[in-house]
Structure 1
Amino acid sequence: SSPLLLCYLYRKGIRFCRLIEYATKLSKAGVSLLKPEPKHRGTADTVLNSMRMLPCHIISFLIAHSFGRRMLYPGSVGLLQKAMRPMLQQGQARLIEEFDGQRNKLVACDGNEIDAMFVDRRREGGRNGNTLVICCEGNAGFYEVGCMSTPLEGGYSVLGWNHPGFAGSTGVPFPQNEANAMDVVIQFAVHKLGFQLSDIMVYAWSIGGFTASWAAMSYPEIKALVLDASFDDLLPLALKVMPDSWRPLVTHTVRQYMNLNNAEQLCKYHGPILLIRRTKDEIITTTGPEDIMSNRGNDLLLKLLQFRYPKVMTDEGIRAVRHWLGATNHVEQASVYSSYEVDDDWCTSVMQSYQTERETMYPWSVGEDMAPEARRQLALFLAQKYLRNFETTHCTPLPSTEFQDPWRLQRAPQGDRRATWKRGMKGMEQKPPVGICCR
């Protein structure tokens, strides 16, 4: 209770925090990341709050830099890499011998060496060869045996890379190091391989959605983004596997050291996006694979649509999309879709009319003059354009037939704008007025 004792402990705490800051200096250096908003407090309780939070800071640091990082990225564990070494060597040899792959070591801005593999299809004359697909692997994935195979089978030029600390890459896979690695991969693709950003697609599986969404946010000129079996935020998944009594500690640790805020980054990108949801996913569900509504891919879609089309995604729009997301297969989804009597032509004409008359940067105000029925139709139309189901588990390789270009809204010819609108209204005459203002 002595003021001198409190002052002494406070100074010791500050010194320890500075030691932590110094120890993590390298992992914090590099490209920009979105930071969680700080909680505003009055000056009166700053010292006491710092003292109160000091044990939490210390424990969070120890957790993140010991078992926490290894739980999040098991592929960085040496024992696992040793067990997989023959498989990785075989996969690397296959990429070089069968696909004429070129292995490269890229040095990121933090000094980490990133092991990368490039397969060039530009000279083969195929339809997809001039598009480069940069692949971002999962938390136990390696380019040698990972998701590179999907775009390779589709005839794309492909650039794969390993997370820091995975196989031939050095470092540790903290978010800052991950973003630094992604940055040097894109720089390599543009300045060394000669691809334009507009010819680059980023494809990610699972936790790779963090670096993929960071790339889309930081390089908005890229052609498109495809996220397979990814999630909106790490925190709900971390809370799922930890005791409830640890909730404050887990929250602080994730936000401070492992803040994989995919949805927040995704909303900074204004280009084409495709989300692939695994209907039997057992990894990114917060309850179990049988509860498809606990799949965090649903939350990723909802957050994206709510940002891009806030006037469409009102309460009735959200309820309709949730109803559609609750379907576990294509037949059920088609049944839900038809039950709302969605007219695809009408929805397309509405979107084209809005795009023609206004700026295309998100968020859009389309839907603000619509009746609930029209909002529900547009919400479902947009949901099925942005998300596709793949009826399997989390770790099943994605077939090349499921890897497709994301939906792009084609502009209607300027002279045919009103005609397009009228064609889109066909079949709506028998329905109640939807309250759309069309000038």
Structure 2
Amino acid sequence: MSFYNYLFGPKLYMEYKGVPEPQRKMYEPGAVEKFGEQILSTLSVVWSVSYYTSPLIFTFLYRRGYFVADSMPTLAKFTTSVGLIVVISLLMRGVGRRQSKAYTNMVNALVQAKENKSSEPLRRFDIDFTSWPVDFDVKALAGDLKKPTDPVSRREGLSFATLPCELIAYLAINSFGLSMIYPGSVKLLQKFMRPMLIAGRAKLIEDDNGIRYKVKTIDSNEIDTLFIDNRNDNVGNGKTLVICSEGNAGFYEVGIMGTPIALKYSVLGWNHPGFAGSTGSPHPEQDKNAIDAVVRFANNHLGFAIEDIILYGWSIGGFSTLWAASIYPDVKGVILDATFDDVLYLAQPRMPSSLGGIVRVAIRKYCNLNNAELAMKYNGPLLLIRRTEDEIIAEDNRIDTNRGNYLTMSVLKYRYPNLFKAAQLSSTKGLLSKPLESFNYTVAEEKLCMARLITYASDEGKSFPMLIGADYSEEMRNQMALFLLRKHLRDYNSTHCTQLPGEFFSIPWDIPIEHGFVFT
């Protein structure tokens, strides 16, 4: 075994339980490896700080005269000393790892995975995912991999009048703005959460027989995914795959997968670009390429038909989910939990009003997460779940300000324009200002509304917008509007970040087609 593999090999976090090891074990490096690793980690932190403060450091050194000829030998000596420390630390780490049986076993498994293209022995270990071999590469697929035009982008040409504002917006979104929208991409937060992520991943792998895969996108990002296969459970929901898209600080290890797993669905979780084991950054284009690669992986590698896939998104994961639905319209259904209509209306109140114009430009041009527009590109079954105590996408926990209300009305207005006219939209807005449990309809009314929909869809088809109701009375429109609201939206009495109970997760409602059906 080459000593190089020990010098520059990945960090080992854990050995999973199995036949050789009945209990999971966190990897404990020996004293020599630990000392060398601590020095390297300290130097890495110093380098990172120096990189971001380099203008100040260079200015300070220049004023002290360190860039004149007489000071060059001193700088060279300092550089040589640091280099020597790095070399000694690497050697200590390599020697310490070479003495570890666990690390040696991991290196053997890693070499075997890269040589034989088999990752099975490596799956006993939790390692730094950058060294994990790619299990599925989108670019290896035959056919045209070009994506459809982004239906929600607004990229008008530049003008001299708006150039300063657009330049500031660009700098803002690419410095701190994207981190504010996707705090899960901040490395400091990930470092803090690493023990929780390792433990959560271990639970999914050991208790739920999860399998970790690396998926490579068309833009060469590597996406960290984990798959739970329940297809052998003949009495459950295992033939249906639920693809879970997490929130802006969510990770599949501790995220929304638990709900469909408990219901015995097959489940596929993934982390946004720049989150934990996924490379890249959560720019919208990279995120869209990521969810596209995940769906292709599910279809081409795992063997699930598109018609057997449910797309499940929580919070900002609703954008990823709706994008996937817009390019894979034949999915079984879409479930959106605690999702907003447009990120612009969440960003503006959190910034000074004087910066409103810059915020609008930054969002619309560089991070246009407009779920209301994306939802119009998907014609399939859709279920919206609203948190009645939501504190993130509502102001001061007030249900009437929940941005999910606006997404719901936008969807219903687009899909049934003749049923949701001004009067019905006003009434729906009033209903959404309170929990829906206090509004109901009778069994007879439900049967009547369903019969109207089946009749129309059987004769005219059920593509949207559906023009049913042009000749209805106001009373009939009101009745249908309440029925459709209840079919598309469910309330969960909870705050934004709690786990969704299983009773709220179900295959979204759809209008059945009965050819020859006659409403009487």
Pairwise same-fold verdict (TM > 0.5): yes
Counterpart residue identity of residue 177, structure 1: Q
- SS of the residue corresponding to residue 52 of structure 1 reads coil
Matches of 1:37 and 1:165, distance apart in 2: 24
Aligned partner of 2:385 among 261, 266, 276: 276
Per-residue deviation, residues 124-182 of structure 1 (Å, max 9, x unmatched)? 21330000000000000000000010100010000000000000000000100000000
1:357 aligned partner: 459
Aligned partner of 2:151 among 34, 54, 59: 34
1:296 aligned partner: 403
1:433 aligned partner: none
Contact 1:320/1:380, CA 8 A, preserved across alignment: no
Aligned partner of 1:324 among 422, 431, 439: 431
Per-residue deviation, residues 227-256 of structure 1 (Å, max 9, x unmatched)? 000011111001110111111110000001
| TM-score calculated relative to the size of structure 2 | 0.70
Matches of 1:99 and 1:89, distance apart in 2: 15
Per-residue deviation, residues 322-348 of structure 1 (Å, max 9, x unmatched)? 222122252x233xx57xx98111111
Aligned partner of 2:370 among 256, 261, 266: 261
1:395 aligned partner: 497
Matches of 1:302 and 1:343, distance apart in 2: 22
Aligned partner of 1:200 among 299, 302, 309: 309
Contact 2:246/2:317, CA 8 A, preserved across alignment: yes
1:348 aligned partner: 450
* Higher normalized contact order (CA 8 Å, seq sep 6+, divided by chain length): 1
Matches of 2:447 and 2:244, distance apart in 1: 34
The number of residue pairs the alignment matches comes to: 375
Matches of 1:188 and 1:412, distance apart in 2: 34
- SS of the residue corresponding to residue 439 of structure 2 reads helix
Unaligned runs of 5+ in 1: 1-28, 40-45, 423-439
Paired residues for 1:161-240 under 5 Å:
161-240=270-349
After superposing on structure 2, the runs of 4+ consecutive aligned residues of structure 1 that deviate more than 4 Å are none
Shift, 1:38, TM fit: 6.1
Contact 1:150/1:400, CA 8 A, preserved across alignment: yes
Paired residues for 1:104-115 under 5 Å:
104-115=213-224
Contact 2:219/2:289, CA 8 A, preserved across alignment: yes
Q: Is 2:487 the counterpart of 1:381? A: no
Unaligned runs of 5+ in 2: 1-144
Shift, 1:30, TM fit: 7.0
Contact 1:292/1:326, CA 8 A, preserved across alignment: yes
- SS of the residue corresponding to residue 159 of structure 1 reads strand
Matches of 2:155 and 2:170, distance apart in 1: 18
Aligned partner of 1:333 among 439, 444, 469: 439
1:84 aligned partner: 193
2:357 aligned partner: 248
2:58 aligned partner: none
Contact 1:30/1:109, CA 8 A, preserved across alignment: no
Matches of 2:428 and 2:213, distance apart in 1: 44
Percent identical residues: 46
| TM-score calculated relative to the size of structure 1 | 0.83
Larger displacement relative to structure 2 (121-130 or 71-80): 121-130
Contact 2:152/2:370, CA 8 A, preserved across alignment: no
2:264 aligned partner: 155
